Structure 1
Amino acid sequence: MDVVSDSICRIQLALAVKALLNLAVIGLNWQYMHKSFMGYFCISLSFLDLIHTVNFSIIYWLTNFAILGFHITVYHIYLLLQISTLTYSILHWPVFIIAGLDYYWTFPFSKPLSPTRKAVYAASLALVWISAVMYVFFFSDYDSEDSFSPMEHQSFLLIKSQCASLSLVVLAVITCVVIYCRSGLLSLFKSFRGEPYTEGSTCVFFYKLDLDEGYKKPTLTYIAVCFIGTWFPFVYLQLIIMVFRIEVVPFLELNVPWLCFLNSFLIGAVYWHLNQDVAVLKHSEIPDGFCNWTFAPSPDCIKKALPDTTSVTVALIITP
């Protein structure tokens, strides 16, 4: 039982750290969390992780007890962990797709949430969780038998998750964007080596964009700089996990920081795809507390104002 106790202690510690991290991120970005489906899902995930941590702790510290005629033992920790692991492992792509559709339909995020939209988010959230749990019970490898050894229970921690495939797709898209926007990114990199204009805590870097390359490419360069500049450590971490094939248990892979990363990615992708609908997107209207999505007027507006101009010097404003 020493091996079992050590294993449970490690699981409890991992769950507690994850729950605290989720709560910290949500607390710091609360004003953005209740403005989108992704924010609603992050709140629900944080709540469920906290409930899991409390339940596992109660079962472990009380050891053997009965409630409503059911005899609860430490093996039920692994049983609950099976359910949560299998459920979390199949939610990455559904949440990613639903959040993407939400941003596509509600772009440019200028309207406050109406009661109807809040009800739709709540109903969608319930549908996602219920569907995932039903899939686990009726179509997955879930087994409710509690006569297995702890090692057999722990084998469920190594099941395949959707996180790896989704991370691979996101990294591939980022790589393609960097290659496509290499000229603008290189120009920006060179501007960093010069002397920026500094006023207080704000730095302004000036660099040239070629308008003959098209109107969407400069905007995509802006988006790439904003996203990669904010999430570069996380992108680097995902790259290390993919290259060295580091195994992360599924119940830890689905966390609020990861969902916030996907949230910024989706906002950038939707804005670039639909940027012709608006000229300027204000930071306060975007449900993202990480990336400062503030853009200058689009190259299309500049081209109309200066029809004979083939290139323009633009400014990238960086504030803490």
Structure 2
Amino acid sequence: MNISIPSILLGLGGKCLLNWSLVFLQKNHICRSFLGVFSVSLTVVDTLLTLSVTALHGDGHALLGLKLTRYHVCLLVQIIGQVYSTLQWPVVVVAALDHFFTATRRFQSTNTRSRRVICLFVSGLLWSLAALYIFLLSGFRPVVEDVSHNQCWIFHTSQILHVTVFLLLTVSCAALHAWCSTRLLKIPPLNDQITNQSRAHCRGSVVHQALQIFLNTWALFLVFLAVLLLLPVVIPAYLGLNVAWLCFLNSLLIAVVLCAVCSRGLAAVPPDSFCEWRFKFSLAAEDRT
């Protein structure tokens, strides 16, 4: 799709403003998780992209003897958009593993500084691998011809909707499993089945409360995503990855992890600035039953 360069600058400027606002909103624990560190790196990359497009906008600019034109602006935005699209699923996988290790405290001996260094290293590695994939393996072909003056051809992204549908289906399956377990528990138990049924009640309660907490915060955002899914609306690739989406993804992954590990005993809840993950009973009660 063709988008004018001023419109691209306006979108990037608004995205940067939103990104920095959300980063400062979460400043107390933004670097306590992989998604927080990656959000900071994304904000920095978006800012550099916005400044670069602003500086290169128009003709006649020169850098190291190379004349830079609007074609270089279009090329830069297209490359960054493809990198953002490539990063969607790797970020989901790494963030899910990070939340799982936090919830189960697999690395209790890792201090805060070491954790930040690891998250920073993984973030840099993902950016580097995504860029290498785009240039060497993806067969990416930029479109910089046959566009009118002061416009760029921009690729769109659909990974956001794919990720959302997949994770919501996962949470729905967990909720269905908890509901079916609760229904089966209505059958009068034998004496040696009381402990198992108490644990099943605990698991079902965790799943129910996790979904309720998540929906109380993000219901309107889910409606917005549903509208994007049902209507023929396309998202420019350079806007697809943003801190608001990562905040939603953080809460959704926490809900998925809580549903997954509640049967093993929850040790800690990953940091979240939007959902208050407090339950009405002790999560350690399962082990004492």
TM beyond 0.5: yes
Once residues 34 and 102 of structure 1 are traced to their aligned partners in structure 2, the CA distance between those partners, rounded to angstroms, is 13
Query: How much does 1:273 deviate?
Result: 2.1
User: 1:168 maps to what in 2?
Assistant: 165
Aligned pair partner of 1:132 in 130, 146, 157: 130
Are the counterparts in 2 of residues 92 and 254 from structure 1 also a CA contact under 8 Å?
Answer: yes
Quickly say closer, same or farther: Cα 1:264–1:111, change in 2 above 3 A.
Answer: farther
Query: How much does 1:275 deviate?
Result: 2.8
Are the counterparts in 2 of residues 89 and 162 from structure 1 also a CA contact under 8 Å?
Answer: yes
Aligned pair partner of 1:84 in 69, 75, 80: 80
Structure 2 portions without partners, runs of 5+: 181-196
Alignment of 1:1-320 (within 5 A): 7-60=4-57, 63-108=59-104, 113-143=111-141, 148-150=145-147, 154-158=152-156, 160-177=157-174, 214-276=201-263, 278=265, 286-298=270-282, 301=285
Once residues 245 and 160 of structure 2 are traced to their aligned partners in structure 1, the CA distance between those partners, rounded to angstroms, is 10
Once residues 83 and 232 of structure 1 are traced to their aligned partners in structure 2, the CA distance between those partners, rounded to angstroms, is 33
Quickly say closer, same or farther: Cα 1:25–1:39, change in 2 above 3 A.
Answer: same
CA RMSD, 1 decimal: 3.0
Are the counterparts in 1 of residues 88 and 159 from structure 2 also a CA contact under 8 Å?
Answer: yes
| TM-score normalised by structure 2 residue count | 0.82
Query: How much does 1:67 deviate?
Result: 1.4
Are the counterparts in 2 of residues 82 and 142 from structure 1 also a CA contact under 8 Å?
Answer: no
Quickly say closer, same or farther: Cα 1:99–1:56, change in 2 above 3 A.
Answer: same
Return the structure number with greater relative CO, CA threshold 8 A, min gap 6: 2
Structure 1 portions without partners, runs of 5+: 184-209, 306-320
For the residue of structure 1 that corresponds to 2:234, the secondary structure is coil
Number of aligned residue pairs: 270
Identical positions, percent: 28
**Partner amino acid for 2:220?**
P
Are the counterparts in 2 of residues 84 and 251 from structure 1 also a CA contact under 8 Å?
Answer: yes
For the residue of structure 2 that corresponds to 1:22, the secondary structure is helix
Quickly say closer, same or farther: Cα 1:90–1:296, change in 2 above 3 A.
Answer: same
Once residues 199 and 14 of structure 2 are traced to their aligned partners in structure 1, the CA distance between those partners, rounded to angstroms, is 50
| TM-score normalised by structure 1 residue count | 0.74
User: 2:194 maps to what in 1?
Assistant: none
Deviations 1:262-308 (A, max 9, x none): 11111122223223555685xxx631100001113247738967xxx
